[in-house]
Structure 1
Amino acid sequence: MKVILQRSGRASVEVAGEVTGSIEKGYVLLVGVTHEDTEKDADYIAKKVAGLRLWEDEDGKMNKSIDEVGGAILSVSQFTLYGDVRKGRRPSFIDAARPEQAGPLWDYFNDSLRNEGLHVETGIFGAMMDVQLTNDGPVTIIIESK
């Protein structure tokens, strides 16, 4: 499992012109699932996201977690994170899990984040989505379970 985390001042996702999720302060998570991923991978990344200290304390140091600053999560499935562009000019997505595996695991991941006490908003799995965000910092972190 691979997650691109972007610290955000505000973010939203729309599907067919309808907002399906929006947050103020928090993290936008672009989530990719590969064939080998399991619930263990999802739990690992959920715990990592919940515990990361990416928010400034009173001294301006990244020392606070998302929970400590009252932040939320906007989770967006993104199979293109497993796009391989080493050969040719068109990406191969052979490493991305099939929708029947990736969709349920993405749902499980979002529930795992909720079990960590986080408020989670989402896009819609498999849909064409418009994601808008204000990257705060900018802070962008790549998290992989393998």
Structure 2
Amino acid sequence: MRFKDFNLEIVTVERTSYDYQMTLNKNVITFSKGIVEELNYPNQVLFAFNKETKVMGIQVCRSTTKSSFKFSKNKEEQKGVVKISNRNLRDALLHIMDDWDSNKRYRVEGVYIPDDKAFIFELNKYHELKTQRE
């Protein structure tokens, strides 16, 4: 009996989906370090939404791309997570997810799409987090 006899598919187990998280806090939206690393510390991204399916996406883009948004510093300067304090982005998420309370915190796992240099977040698959003391 040999390993190859089982026709197994090799998978990468170095990073779990736990590393790919977006967190909506009261004033800030946080993207985990895993997302920033996987996208290779992009300076600019696009944010896209589908209200019907309640999916949000971020995709790496050029700074000249219409509607691009400043995201990360370069690898040497970026320390950990990316925090975005943008009321319009936060309001867009709360508008799509009308059952979310603006005073609560939510975490959504991201799915990496390497061919598109993008992440998608199925917002319906959220976890409500305990509220932090302000």
What band does the TM-score fall into relative to the shorter chain?
under 0.3
**TM-score, normalised via structure 2 length:** 0.27
**Between Structure 1 and Structure 2, which shows a larger proportion of strand residues?**
1
**TM-score, normalised via structure 1 length:** 0.25
Q: Which has the higher contact order (CA 8 A, sep 6+)?
A: 1
Choose 1 or 2 for highest CA Rg: 2
